[in-house]
Structure 1
Amino acid sequence: MTNRELVVLGTASQVPTRHRNHNGYLLRWDGEGLLFDPGEGTQRQMLLAGVSATDLTRICVTHFHGDHSLGLAGVIQRINLDRVPHPVQCFYPLSGQEYFDRLRHSTAFHETAELRPQPIRATGPIPVPGAPFVMDAVALSHPVDSFGYRLVEPGGRRMLPEKLAEFGLSGRIVGQLQRQAGVELDGRTITLDEVSEIYRGQRFAFVMDTRMCEGVERLAEGADLLVIEATFLSTEAHLAEEHGHLTAAQAARVAAAAGVRTLVLTHFSQRYPDTSGHLAEARAHFDGEIVVAEDLMRVPVPPRVR
Structure 2
Amino acid sequence: MSRRELVVLGSASQTPTRHRNHNGYLLRFDAESLLFDPGEGTQRQMIHAGASAGELTRLCVTHFHGDHSLGLAGVIQRLSLDGVAHPVRCHYPASGQVFFERLRHATSFHERAELVPLPVEDDGPLDGPLSAYALDHRIDCFGYRYTEPDGVRMLPEALEAAGIRGPDVRRMQAEGVFTVGGRTVGLAEVSRPRRGQVVAFVMDTRLCAGAFACAADADLLVAESTFRAADAGLAARYGHLTSVDAGRLAAGSGARKLVLTHFSQRYRYAEADRFGAEAAEVFDGEIHLARDLDVVPLPPRR
Interval of TM-score (by shorter of Structure 1 and Structure 2)? over 0.9
Question: Is 1:57 the counterpart of 2:57 in the alignment?
Answer: yes
CA contact (8 A) 2:177 2:184 kept: no
Provide the residue aligned with 1:140 in structure 2: 135
**Corresponding residue of 2:299:** 302
Q: Which amino acid aligns with 2:250?
A: A
2:251 match: 256
* CA–CA distance in structure 2, aligned partners of residues 65 and 180 of structure 1: 48
Q: What one-letter code is carried by the residue in structure 1 that aligns with 2:136?
A: S
Cα distance in structure 1, aligned partners of 2:172 and 2:31? 30
Q: CA deviation at 1:119?
A: 1.0
1:240 is aligned to: 235
1:165 matched to 2:160? The reply is yes
- Superposed displacement of residue 195, structure 1: 2.1
Matched with 1:292 is: 289
Deviations 1:11-52 (A, max 9, x none): 000011100000000001112110000001111101111111
- The range that moved more, 107-116 or 18-27, is 107-116
SS of the aligned residue for 2:7 comes to strand
Q: Describe how 1:127-276 pairs up with structure 2 within 5 A.
A: 127-128=127-128, 134-171=129-166, 174=169, 178=173, 179=175, 181=177, 183=179, 191-273=186-268, 274-276=271-273
Distance 1:141 1:80 in 2: 34
Q: Distance in 2 between matches of 1:41 and 1:9?
A: 9
Aligned to 2:26: 26
Structure 1: gaps (5+ residues): 129-133
The answer to whether the 8 A contact 2:164-2:180 is kept is no
SS of the counterpart of 1:51?
coil
Indicate if the aligned counterparts of 1:176 and 1:183 stay in contact, CA closer than 8 A. Answer: no
Retained in 1: the 8 A contact 2:163–2:180? no
1:116 is matched with 116
Kept in 2, the 8 Å contact 1:24–1:39? The answer is: yes
Name structure 2 gaps, 5 residues minimum: none
Separation (CA, whole Å) in 1 of partners of 2:180 and 2:300 = 34
TM-score w.r.t. the length of structure 1 is 0.93
Q: What does residue 93 of structure 2 align with? A: 93
Query: Do 2:133 and 2:210's aligned partners in 1 also have CA atoms closer than 8 Å?
Result: yes
**What TM-score, normalized to structure 2?**
0.94
CA distance in 2, matches of 1:40, 1:265: 20
**1:302 match: secondary structure:** coil
* Equivalent pair of 1:177/1:183 in contact (CA under 8 Å): no
- Give 1:177 shift: 5.1
- The structural deviation recorded for 1:169 is 3.9
Distance 1:278 1:102, change over 3 A: same
Q: Displacement, 1:302?
A: 1.5
The alignment of Structure 1 onto Structure 2 pairs a total of residues equal to 299
Alignment pair present for 1:43 and 2:40: no
Give me the CA root mean square deviation.
1.7
Q: Equivalents in 2 of 1:73, 1:176: separation in Å?
A: 46
Give the Cα–Cα distance (whole angstroms) in 2 for the partners of residues 68 and 164 of structure 1: 49
Secondary structure, in 3 states, of the residue corresponding to 1:290? strand
- Residue 190 of structure 1: how far off its partner (Å): 5.2
SS at match of 2:201: strand
Q: CA shift at 1:209, angstroms?
A: 0.3
Aligned residue in 1 for 2:5:
5
Q: CA deviation at 1:162?
A: 2.7
SS of equivalent to 1:275 = helix
